[in-house]
Amino acid sequence: MLFKVEMTVNPPSHLSEEEFNAIKIKEKNYAEELQREGIWVHLWRVAGLYANVSIFEVRDNQHLHDVLMALPLYPYMNVSVTPLCQHPSSIK
Ligand SMILES: O=C(O)C[C@H]1C=CC(=O)O1
């Protein structure tokens, strides 16, 4: 199942720069692992914003939920999920 996921990061004011950077390193490692596994299929920065537009390929809704809940930055993000299906004019 394919989903478009939009994430906007809201850096917390109660963490030091070092504490937040440590979370960002964990997030980067997890994001790279999910990309290597073929789960995080596309990851695009939204120009001018601390936000991304992503495509996830997962087994089911529960799988997507588990993947998103495990994001180290999840507590500091607004996340929006849109289910995708085949476009009738797509040649893929
Ligand atoms: O920077 C972001 O958009 C948030 C998040 C997504 C991947 C990653 O490494 O951090």
In a domain, 77, yes or no: yes
Atom of ligand 1 nearest to the CA of 27: 9
Enter the ipTM: 0.97
Rounded distance between C-alpha atoms, residue 81 and residue 71, angstroms: 14
In a domain, 79, yes or no: yes
Q: Is 31 in the pocket of ligand 1 (CB under 6 A)?
A: yes
Count of structural domains within the chain: 1
What global pTM score does this model have? Answer: 0.95
What is the span of the domain harbouring residue 36? 2-84
At 34, which CATH number?
Answer: 3.30.70.1060
Q: Which residue from 5, 7, 54, 68 has its CB within 8 A of the most atoms of ligand 1, so it is best to mutate?
A: 7
* Per-residue pLDDT tens over the stretch 50-69: 999 999 999 999 999 999 99
C-alpha distances (whole Å) from 12 to each of 4, 15, 50, 72 are 25, 6, 13, 13
